[in-house]
Structure 1
Amino acid sequence: MVTFEECAQMLDEIANSMPQELFRDLNAGMSLEPQAKLHPQSVRGELYILGEYVRNSIGNSIVFYYGSIMKVYGGLSNDKLYTELEKIMHHEVKHHNEHLAGCDDLGICDDEQIESYLRSNGITG
């Protein structure tokens, strides 16, 4: 299993490999939090938030959850984990850039995935 520090280093490496213009106005930066974060609509405690784009009075930021990442991907090799971290980073950066562009297509897609998850668990609404 990758340590917290190793995970942070991987995320830094991924961010540094991306065009820095993608991070414009991400004025509250990025952070890696140690905890696992369950999605509020998790049916059986198996749906984790791996990362999230946050907009609040402090500014725009991206938060990654080490505990969640390890619960979902902790058994992967370092190379495969790195690939999954890249996907998470790209997803959250896309949320940020869509916000700057005044759209939320990815948010709509995320909502549709949650609705599908809930339907597959017998929950309609």
Structure 2
Amino acid sequence: MSLSFPTIDEVHDMLDTIAEGIPQAIFKELNKGIVLLPQVKLHPESDPSQVLYILGEYTSNRTGRQIVLYYGSFRQSFPGRSRERLYKELKNTLYHEFVHHLEGLAGDYDLEVEDRISLERYKQRLRSAQESKGE
């Protein structure tokens, strides 16, 4: 039996529930809030053979700070998963973006370094896969 993926409104409700459990102090200076966009977002270095979706992003610029999550990317990344599993993935992603927010406020960018290391691992897996195919 295939599980139907929740609608964008249902995912928005899940995010609201997750956000309600986060202390208000964590939202400091997140003036543009948390946004759930409908689209799929691919990482600029994504390869068609092993697609790399962007689930969420923290943005900070002169107009403010916000967390953006991509419904379409979650839908592509976690098809057929239970609502409980999807909730966990949403929570992990939201918390990850909040770490970027808090580090940005503190002038610390350790998670950005970890993200770059993860991207390098992805690229190494691609190279290894291409080498094993003889490309």
Q: Which residue of the partner structure matches residue 100 of structure 1?
A: 105
Spell out the pairing of 1:1-125 with structure 2 (5 A cutoff). Answer: 1-44=5-48, 46-122=51-127
- Larger Cα-atom Rg: 2
How far, CA to CA, are the matches of 2:125 and 2:52 in structure 1?
13
* 1:73 Cα deviation from its structure 2 partner: 1.3
DSSP 3-state at the match of 2:127: coil
Percentage identity across aligned positions?
Answer: 45
1:116 is displaced (CA, Å) by 1.0
> How many residues in Structure 1 have an aligned counterpart in Structure 2?
123
Question: TM-score scaled by structure 2?
Answer: 0.88
Displacement of 1:25 after TM fit? 0.4
Instruction: Give the residue type in structure 1 aligned to 2:25.
Output: E
Q: TM-score, normalised by structure 1?
A: 0.94
Q: How far off is 1:74 after superposition?
A: 2.7
**How far apart, CA to CA, are the structure 1 residues paired with 2:106 and 2:99?**
10
Offset at 1:57? 2.4
Runs of at least 4 residues of structure 1 off by over 2 A?
A: none
**What are the superposed Cα offsets for residues 71-97 of structure 1, whole Å, 9 maximum, x if unpaired?**
001311111110111100100000000
CA deviations over 1:43-93 (Å, ceiling 9, x no partner) = 126100000001122200000000001100131111111011110010000
Extract unaligned runs of 5+ from structure 1: none
